Amino acid sequence: MQTTVLLVIDVQNDYFPGGKMPLHEPEVALQEIKKLLGYFRQHQMPIIHIQHEMIDRPEKPARFFIPGTPGIDLHPQVLPAAGELLLVKHFPSSFRETGLQAQLQQIGIQQLVICGMMTQMCVDTTTRAAFDLGYQVQVAIDATACPTLRFEETKIPAHLVKASVAAALNGTFAKVSHTDTILNQIG
């Protein structure tokens, strides 16, 4: 039997209304993340939370997730429960300089279910890194959130950003589906 972990990435206050980097419909993603957390907790399956902390650099000052501000805190509805690991990262990949790989190896993880924020940044980067390390990855796309983006004169609505990431990841780097589908497959 494969051991599966739920990886909850960067569900932090700055991504919600009133934060310094509010995303498109983060509350919708939050409800799906809570479903995943509930299932994994009920079945005593491992859960790892990731929290991003920005490093202020002279060439690129931090705009959000600033240490000592309320925005860096995990959203109160997804706080780690007893026995759930919390790792802090400073880069888009949850694997870079966090000890995540060692933790997964220690508990014999072969498969990751990934959710969180932002779809096009930390979820995407972590998914690709996990694939490169040999993990089987599922992304609960409805349990992710992202902003509307702009490149030059082109505005890309958040729902298209999310769909583009899903299309790029699905089939090669991960199996991308919805929370209910993933939970039905696990259960």
Whether 122 sits among the annotated catalytic residues: the reply is: yes
What whole-number distance in Å separates Cα of residue 31 and Cα of residue 121? Answer: 20
Q: List the catalytic residue out of 14, 35, 115, 122.
A: 122
143: helix, coil or strand?
strand
Whether 115 sits among the annotated catalytic residues: the reply is: no
Whether 142 sits among the annotated catalytic residues: the reply is: no
For β-strands 111-117 and 136-145, DSSP reports them as: parallel
The 10 Å Cβ neighbour count of residue 128 is 19
Q: List the catalytic residue out of 14, 89, 146, 162.
A: 89
Residue 125 parent element (H or E): helix 124-132
Would you say how long the chain is, in residues? 187
Which are the catalytic amino acids?
A: 10, 89, 122
